[in-house]
Amino acid sequence: MNTNESLLGVLQIIYQWRKRLVFTTLGVGVATALISLLLANYYQATTTFYAANSDLTKPDRVFGPPGSYVEYFGSGADIDRLLTIASGKDLLDRMIDTFDLFTLYHIDPQGDQARERARLKLSARMEVNQTKYDGMTIRIEDTDPNLAAEMANMARNIVDQMAREHIRNSQKLLLNTYQISINEKQSYLVALADSLEDIQRNFGVYDYRLQYQVIGDQISRKSIQLAGDEARLATYRRIGYNNRDTIANISARVAALQSELADLNGTSTDGIFNIRDFAHGATLFSKVQQQFENTKNQLSYDIEKANHLTAAMNGDTPAIIPFERAIPPQLKARPKRAFMVISAMALTLIFGILYLLVRRQYQLIDWKQLSADGR
């Protein structure tokens, strides 16, 4: 086997150039170390929290029947909502304005795309993740460890605030819907009350059940009186009783009772009281009163729901459950200077050896012979 093509040949070349390889590698290592010392130290602060269950903001669940249970920790959609908020531009903009990141990142706020540049820098230093235990973490890097911890905690608080705002806006829309329904039902109740007053005034209906009972009692009593007076009158006439005043009084009483019964039974056409009109009015009164009661019950239900929703809004239920606050880190996160130096030296050594091998192969080529063959 040709020495130039064997491993021994490779080792021979490396041995011949060993001093230059070592000096070059060491030189690159020293240069890398010096350059890495010029890089600023970045510290990473981390805060951990969990999503709160959105059912805690729903009046139907919070003010549900006795014994109902609401899970305090959220999952699924609750976590996705917080991740969406934490990954959005609104959080970045609020962080930029809160900490004046234009000044911190040396960006002219009046320059072109200044806010977008600030967002990119903050995004490069901020990381949002979901843990395998359904928790969430926010990590922020900065050259100042205290500022890194403060920014991480503030980012968590802003996520909580934004999630509450989204929930509160939804609650306001629902409360506005309830209020519109309450106003409509209140107006409808006023109209129904006016209709009941008109029926009472036009048909004399107030408590139709009691009035029907009284009418029945009157019909029964007057029918008994009429039967007694008619029997007495017939007896007087049969026996030839000649007291004209008594006969006249009984006859007048019979006529009066017949007229009253005709009115009560609805057979009279010219009486003061018309049972048919009363019955019609009682039917209308019953229907309108039923509508009034149903609407009043619905109104009470809507008012109760609106009060529960208002109580839930005023309760200001948190959207997150803090688990671990960010504290100023003691150890830097980057740069990894030892890793940088070792990587630079290893790459220098590898590429140096490759350069020597390529150079050696280049020297072994007979370029004149190749040119002659080319002709």
For the segment 26-54, what is each residue's pLDDT rounded down to a tens digit?
A: 999 999 889 888 888 899 999 999 999 88
At 1, the pLDDT band (50, 70, 90 cuts) reads: very low
> Of 260 and 178, which is predicted with more confidence?
178
Q: What is the pLDDT of residue 83?
A: 93
Select the highest-mean-pLDDT range: 7-16, 181-190, 284-293: 181-190
CB atoms within 10 A of CB 180: 11
- Span 142-160, pLDDT tens digits: 999 999 999 999 999 999 9
Which has the minimum average pLDDT: 10-14, 139-143, 306-310?
Answer: 10-14
For residues 136 and 129, the answer to whether their CB atoms sit within 8 Å is yes
Gap between the Cα atoms of 74 and 77, Å rounded: 8
Q: What percent of the chain has pLDDT over 90?
A: 36
At 130, the pLDDT band (50, 70, 90 cuts) reads: very high
Q: What percent of the chain has pLDDT over 70?
A: 76
The structure tokens listed for 268 are 């009279």
Would you say residue 234 has pLDDT above 60?
Answer: yes
Q: Averaged over 269-294, what is the pLDDT?
A: 73
Domain ranges of the chain: 1-39+336-361, 183-315
At 97, the pLDDT band (50, 70, 90 cuts) reads: very high
- Span 348-359, pLDDT tens digits: 999 988 888 888
Gap between the Cα atoms of 252 and 226, Å rounded: 11
Q: What is the pLDDT of residue 135?
A: 92
Gap between the Cα atoms of 333 and 105, Å rounded: 19
Gap between the Cα atoms of 27 and 33, Å rounded: 10
Answer whether 0.85 is exceeded by the pTM.
no
For residues 262 and 268, the answer to whether their CB atoms sit within 8 Å is yes
- Span 307-350, pLDDT tens digits: 888 888 887 788 999 999 999 998 888 888 888 899 999 999 99
